[in-house]
Amino acid sequence: MGQYQLSQENRRYNPETLVKYFRFRPWLVWGRILTIIWFFSGFIVGMKTDEWLGKAEQNQPLRATQLRKIITRLGPTFIKVGQALSTRPDLIRKDFLEELIKLQDQLPPYSNAIAFQTIERELGRPLEELYSEITPNPVAAASLGQVYQARLHTGEEVAVKVQRPNLRPVLNLDLYLMRWAAGWLAPWLPLNLGHDLQLIVDEFGTKLFEEIDYFNEGRNAEKFATNFRDDPRVKVPSIYWRYTSDRVLTLEWINGFKLTDTAAIKRAGLDQNRIIEIGVTAGLQQLLEHGFFHADPHPGNLFATFDGRMAYIDFGMMDQLTEGMKETLVDALVHSVNQDYTELAEDYVKLGFLAPNTDIRPIVPALEAVLKNAIGESVSKLNFKTITDSFSELMYEYPFRVPAKFALIIRSLVTQEGIALSLNPDFKIVEVAYPYIAQRLLKGETPPLRRRLLNLLFKNGKFQWERLEDLIAIARADNSFDLLPTAQMGLQFLLSEEGQYLRQQLLIALTEDDRLHTAEVQSLWNLVKDELQPNRLFNVAIGALSDFSKERTAALLPVFNAFNGK
């Protein structure tokens, strides 16, 4: 089977096929290995020579440019790695970062003639019949394709994304080498640090091949748009299917600013912190609500629109979480706040970070030591890098591993935090994430979320008044949060059959330790009274009570009597 057959017939990533193919073509493998070694050895020798000659600082810009050119010449697989690094100002020094950012959409374009021939061949019509106008040169060139600005004959302004030629042969060979290197490195890494390393490469390869299927990207965009149809803060471009194929994608043109263009964002009078908030909450919604998340959110794929919305423009690399995974992620958050480290260790088993037969007893105190240090001291100082750094210590000492699925999630979260840091160096992810999670728990829109709220509010059978106060205070940190709808849903739940257990526990909480807990109730009321004005509260109560029978409403009398007894 020839290389052409491998690249054209295998539309999806298949590691077994790659192994069978390249095992008998060592000249291709060693040719690529020697090319990679040659490029990077020259870069390393140059860096060391600068140190020996005392010119390291003077030649920093030169070496940064050299690194970008090496990554660019090595092709799309290495460019993807460089793009991920370009979003980490806390990890990459400034001179290198400025060059790596150019990998997002400032790569050398390929021939316009080849691109236009691809459009005509894929869509089956001459260029002038497809578009009334199209830019003679690409407006952006990325790792897998380049983009032209055009206008349809019906007047719509569109972006035309055209795939680079001969991508699959290069991707096949690089992924084979990455998989071989992962298998060779895994046994040498401490404990389970190398566990499933090949599966992580396979997950990356699968997503990379999905990314070069533009039909798949169009479907992803429409699914993403459906998930955010009720969120006016998020903009998703429309897909023009009549002008789309496997290698050509035509979508709505988005006007806006790259998130790294902080000067333009400021000149436009946009609130950078508001843009960060939209990005972080949209990311959390993707993971914890929809389960369908953007796995490649680098700044070349995200824009701030002129009216302050967040626009996503690339949907090639997406992934899906199961309902069980979403629920377990929320469990892990609740157990972290509750400092229930045994349950947290069990969550890690369910998520695949620990093997099913792992003895978690020695891991629990280690988790407590690490997370108390990362979370317990000061919420305001916590960022995602703090947590990942803390867990990297655990992975050297205990049998933690990174499941292939979560490698993409971690990459997505780290990238989004890096983007936020580029907009605001003092950004702390929990300042946005905590209010969102608190609101989700307080609203209790689904039975699983209501169960998790109860788990948070009750510990060792006792109602945690301070946690309820903290949740409300954190949720209200977002000025758009309205407590009244949440109060109405809470009252409806309390009156329902499902709320029978809560009614009993609330009565116990109000009267436990042989006293009425009026001070706690008064403290809670002081926190919410400004929002719960009597007339609005009365309307909410009437609305909630109207849905229930007299018998159910009567079930609340013991609780009301407890309040009256104060």
Q: How many residues does the chain have?
A: 566
* Tokens 């009993």 sit on residue: 504
Rounded Cα distance, 275 and 273, in Å: 5
d(CA 294, CA 411): 10
DSSP 302-364: EEEETTS-EEE---SSEEE--HHHHHHHHHHHHHHHHT-HHHHHHHHHHHTSS-TT---TTHH
Give the H/E segment covering residue 157: strand 157-163
296 is a catalytic site residue: yes
Per residue, the 3-state secondary structure of 407-456, as one string, reads HHHHHHHHHHHHHHHHHCCCCCHHHHHHHHHHHHHHHCCCHHHHHHHHHH
Other beta carbons within 10 angstroms of residue 550's beta carbon come to 7
State the Cα angle at 471 between 470 and 473, rounded to 5°.
Answer: 65
Catalytic residue among 202, 296, 314, 340: 296
Structure tokens at 518: 């009026």
- Distance, C-alpha 148 to centroid of its chain: 28
CA distances from 530 to 20, 132, 482, 518 (A): 70, 58, 12, 19
**DSSP assigned state of 462:** E
Residue where the block lists tokens 């955010």 = 228
Strands (E), 174-276: 234-235, 248-252, 256-258
* 79: number of Cβ within 10 Å: 21
Beta carbons of 406 and 438 less than 8 angstroms apart: no
- Residue 83 to residue 102: CA distance in whole angstroms: 9
Structure tokens at 544: 């909630």
Three-state SS across 114-138?
A: HHHHHHHHHHCCCHHHHEEEECCCC
Residue 514 DSSP one-character state: G
Beta strands 131-134; 145-152: pairing state: antiparallel
396: its two tokens: 């050297």
Q: How many CA atoms lie within 13 A of 219 on its CB side?
A: 10
- Distances from the Cα of 513 to the Cαs of 94, 462, 503, in angstroms? 59, 10, 18
Active site (catalytic) residues: 296
